Amino acid sequence: MRLLRAESMRFWARTLIRWAMVAGLVVAGLVVLGSWSTSTPPPDEVQASMQADFDASVKDWEDNGETYVADCLAAEKADAEELGEPLDYECDEMGPPVWADYAYFATFAGEGLSTVQLSLLLVALLTLGVGVTFVSAEHTSGAIGNWLTFEPRRSRVYWSKVVAAVLGVVPVTVVMVGLIAGGSLWAYDHHGALGRFDLDQDLRPYVEMGFRAAVLALGCAALGAALGSLLRHTAIVIGVVAGWAILVEAVAANVFDAIKPWTLVTSMNAWIQGGTAVYVTECDATDDSGMLCDWVEHPVSQAQGGLILTAVVASIVLASWLVFRRRDVA
Amino acid sequence: MANDLAIETRGLRKTYRSRRGASVGVRSLDLEVPVGGVHGFLGPNGSGKTTTIRMLLGLVRADEGEMRIFGHEVPDRLPAVVRRIGAIVEHPKFYPAFTGRKNLQILATGIGVPVRRVDEVLDSVGLGDRGKDAFRKYSLGMKQRLAIAATLLKDPDLLIFDEPTNGLDPAGIREIRETMRALAVEGKTVLVSSHILAEVEQVADTVSIVSEGTIVSQGRVADLLSSRTAATARVLVADPARALNILQDAGFVVRGDGEALIVEGVENPADVTRTLALQGSYVSALVPHKADLESVFLELTGTAERQSGEPTEGVAR
Ligand SMILES: Nc1ncnc2c1ncn2[C@@H]1O[C@H](COP(=O)(O)OP(=O)(O)OP(=O)(O)O)[C@@H](O)[C@H]1O
Ligand SMILES: [Mg+2]
């Protein structure tokens, strides 16, 4: 408990960490601002021309609708006879124009939600960075050696740092997630642009998504602390994380897309979005002509994503602990 | 193992391994530091002083050997004694961006010392008015004093200072020396490592001399010196080569040193003069040179060996 208090003092005394948090709040504010401007209805003259287009289409349908349907049915029949198999041109689905097709308004169900989901990953990135710099600074400056002459029990020292990093980012995580998720929803709602997002029905899963994003961010703080302790220099951690992102998440996942369902990016998307899907090429040998390849949609469940992320964070945090327990400190 | 020892190590060994190969930190090091007083830990650069101190503090893992501090097996029982040990290893290392006071406050919080103690120890090392400055803005002397203040947070019984005067000006060196003496007077045990003999000779009651990772001699400074009270004499003669033969024939231990001769184990300088005079070789100057820790040190650590190319006696290996 004393150690945790000391680590918390250390955490909050770091100017870099405080600035990172301010930057995080600014970013969250910008996301809300973006949602606000995206969801702002277009100016009157644009709306008027949309309305004019719509009215013209309605009139066209009223005048010629029946002819269009008849033409469609005729074409369907003719082509089917020519091919000798039944066809469906979906003529019965033709109907009067829909206003939504003419009003190009961004909706929360459309643009808003995916922007929110993407922005929530930024929270995790921030807490990762905070965790790294919090712990690595002590190794780089050598202050850890001095600290160990006050508290030689390495495990306690290590875990108090990890826990302090996680607790330390709780406020910024809560505020950022709340701002990004709540603020964006509010902005779209304010402009009456929720689209197919139904406040009664969809709000609860939406809140749960924010909660999962916060959990991810806290996990990333622990991961950052572990990486900072393991690699000891912020620059090395940045190199390793960037190297992994480029080589594995980007390059390897494109070359061998069979690994796509298992990458960290996919897992994070699945975890936050409550399941996602990736497209994987699957090739089969055909009898004579060689290979036949196909884009196959591969669903990734939220549980799978969560499990992979938990496994990665837990194993790195534990490995870093084992290393720190035995390592020579200069 | 005796109980009147503050520090005791047996057969301590540490080899550093890296991609570039292995380098021996210490080998079979048996260190004994009695309780009370200032104990010098003397050895040339790279002889393993810092390595030993790091092992005692659990910063570095020994490959082999046993260590005890106040009778407690370390590093296993270190948590039990760590509150009684204050240590500064090499340069004082704190968070550069934090103020001196903040650095100490974190340490105090970590060990459950009331935070008001911080101002007391800052005052006691004369940093009371600089506590608000960032550590990185401190001069080396101030950093050193902050480190001492940090050790005082614990009110320790054993203080370990690793080359505390490195880079300090004479006033700073004197201050540190007085601090160490004052601590010893309070009944605390001080282990101070150094490669500077004068420093150890001035401040230490007992000394361990380490060379290439092993202790080559240890005991009271006074005893180490008196075991070699027989002085060395530096003799100038017209014909050094002939005089060397004369003295050697007469049973003296002699070696050449440029134009001069160094005669060892001289109880009475007149013996040298008389022996030479009897053979018609007249001494133009004779400077008796009483043994100090320096010559003992050079002799023991083999530095003299390398300089004169002559084997020396008394190396307890
Ligand atoms: N981290 C390390 N990695 C590899 N070798 C090391 C390391 N630390 C020390 N050594 C080696 O161990 C030996 C003893 O070094 P140590 O620092 O203990 O000597 P020292 O007596 O403190 O010297 P100095 O008076 O220069 O401080 C040296 O040969 C050194 O090169
Ligand atoms: Mg050293």
Whole-prediction pTM: 0.82
Residues B215 and B240 reside in one and the same domain: no
Could you tell me which residues come within 8 angstroms of residue A147 by beta carbon, excluding any fewer than 6 positions away?
A138, A157, B107, B110
Give residue-wise pLDDT tens across range A239-263: 999 999 999 998 998 888 888 899 9
Residues B195 and B213 reside in one and the same domain: yes
CA of B50 to the centre of ligand 2 (A): 4
Taking the Cβ of residue A15 and every Cβ of chain B, the question of whether any pair is shorter than 8 Å is answered with yes
Q: Which residues of A touch B110 (CB under 8 A)?
A: 2-3, 5-6, 147, 150-151
Here the tokens at position B247 are 């003295």
Angle between helices A113-141 and A199-231 (to 10 degrees): 20
Q: Does A330 contact ligand 1 (Cβ within 6 A)? A: yes
List the single best residue of A2, A9, A150 to mutate versus B (max B Cβ within 10 A): A150
What pLDDT, on a 0 to 100 scale, did the predictor assign at position A237? 95
Mean pLDDT of A189-215: 92
Question: Does residue B312 form part of some domain?
Answer: no
Residues B242 and B163 reside in one and the same domain: no
Residues B259 and B187 reside in one and the same domain: no
Chosen domain end from B176, B194, B226: B226
For strand B85-88 and strand B253-257, is the pairing parallel, antiparallel, or unpaired?
unpaired
CA of B140 to the centre of ligand 1 (A): 22
Q: Which residues of B touch A14 (CB under 8 A)?
A: 97
Q: What are phi and psi of A220, to 5 degrees?
A: -65, -30
pLDDT tier at A42, thresholds 50, 70, 90? confident
Residues B27 and B149 reside in one and the same domain: yes
Residues B156 and B268 reside in one and the same domain: no
- Which CATH number is B274's domain given? 3.30.70.100
Taking the Cβ of residue A190 and every Cβ of chain B, the question of whether any pair is shorter than 8 Å is answered with no
Q: What are phi and psi of B64, to 5 degrees?
A: -155, 160
Residues B92 and B169 reside in one and the same domain: yes
A326: left (phi over 0), alpha (psi -120 to 50) or beta: alpha
What pLDDT, on a 0 to 100 scale, did the predictor assign at position B313? 39
Calculate how close chain A gets to B92, using CA atoms only, in Å. Answer: 8
Residues B60 and B126 reside in one and the same domain: yes
What pLDDT, on a 0 to 100 scale, did the predictor assign at position B264? 79
Helices (H), B197-284: 197-203, 221-226, 240-249, 269-278
Residues B66 and B162 reside in one and the same domain: yes
Residue having the nearest C-alpha atom to atom 31 of ligand 1? B46
DSSP assignments along A138-160, one per residue: HHHHSHHHHHHTT---HHHHHHH
Instruction: Decide if B183 contacts B85 (C-beta within 8 A).
Output: no
Instruction: Decide if B307 contacts B206 (C-beta within 8 A).
Output: no
Tell me how crowded residue A316 is: count the other CB atoms within 10 A of its CB.
Answer: 16
Look up tokens 């550590």; give the residue: B135
Residue having the nearest C-alpha atom to atom 1 of ligand 1? A330
Question: Does residue B239 form part of some domain?
Answer: yes
- The Cα–Cα gap between B169 and B39 comes to 22
Residues B168 and B254 reside in one and the same domain: no
Question: Does residue B303 form part of some domain?
Answer: no
Question: Does residue B249 form part of some domain?
Answer: yes
Whether residue A14 and residue B97 make contact (CB cut-off 8 A), yes or no, is yes
Calculate how close chain B gets to A330, using CA atoms only, in Å. Answer: 7
Give the one of B58, B92, B147 whose C-beta lies nearest to A152's C-beta. Answer: B58
- Which CATH number is B142's domain given? 3.40.50.300
Q: For chain B, how many structural domains are there in total? A: 2
CA of A226 to the centre of ligand 1 (A): 28
Give residue-wise pLDDT tens across range A118-169: 999 999 999 999 999 999 999 999 999 999 999 999 999 999 999 999 999 9
Residues B237 and B221 reside in one and the same domain: no
Residue having the nearest C-alpha atom to atom 22 of ligand 1? B50
Residues B168 and B249 reside in one and the same domain: no
What pLDDT, on a 0 to 100 scale, did the predictor assign at position B225? 66
Write out the residue range of the structural domain in which residue B284 sits.
231-289
**pLDDT, one tens digit for every residue, chain B (317 residues):** 456 899 999 999 999 888 888 888 898 899 999 999 999 999 888 889 999 999 999 999 999 999 999 999 989 999 999 999 999 998 899 999 999 999 999 999 999 999 899 999 999 888 888 889 999 999 988 999 999 999 999 989 999 999 988 888 888 888 889 989 999 999 999 999 998 877 888 899 999 999 888 998 888 887 776 665 556 788 888 888 888 889 888 888 888 888 888 887 777 778 888 888 888 888 888 887 665 666 667 766 665 444 443 333 333 33
Chosen domain end from B203, B226, B249: B226
Mean pLDDT of A178-188: 95
Taking the Cβ of residue B82 and every Cβ of chain A, the question of whether any pair is shorter than 8 Å is answered with yes
Residue A206 has pLDDT above 60, yes or no: yes
Question: Does residue B64 form part of some domain?
Answer: yes
Look up tokens 């005669």; give the residue: B263
Q: Does B51 contact ligand 1 (Cβ within 6 A)? A: yes
Q: How many CB pairs under 8 A join A and B?
A: 83
Q: Which residues of A touch B61 (CB under 8 A)?
A: 326, 328
What pLDDT, on a 0 to 100 scale, did the predictor assign at position A321? 97
Question: Does residue B296 form part of some domain?
Answer: no
CA of A57 to the centre of ligand 2 (A): 88
What pLDDT, on a 0 to 100 scale, did the predictor assign at position B307? 42
What pLDDT, on a 0 to 100 scale, did the predictor assign at position B167? 82
pLDDT tier at A106, thresholds 50, 70, 90? confident
Q: Which residues of B touch A329 (CB under 8 A)?
A: 54, 59-60
Chosen domain end from B194, B226, B258: B226
- The Cα–Cα gap between A132 and A118 comes to 22
CA of B164 to the centre of ligand 2 (A): 10
What pLDDT, on a 0 to 100 scale, did the predictor assign at position B291? 59
Q: What is the ipTM of this complex?
A: 0.79
Q: Give the start-to-end residue ranges of the domains of chain A.
A: 2-41+109-243+313-326, 46-102
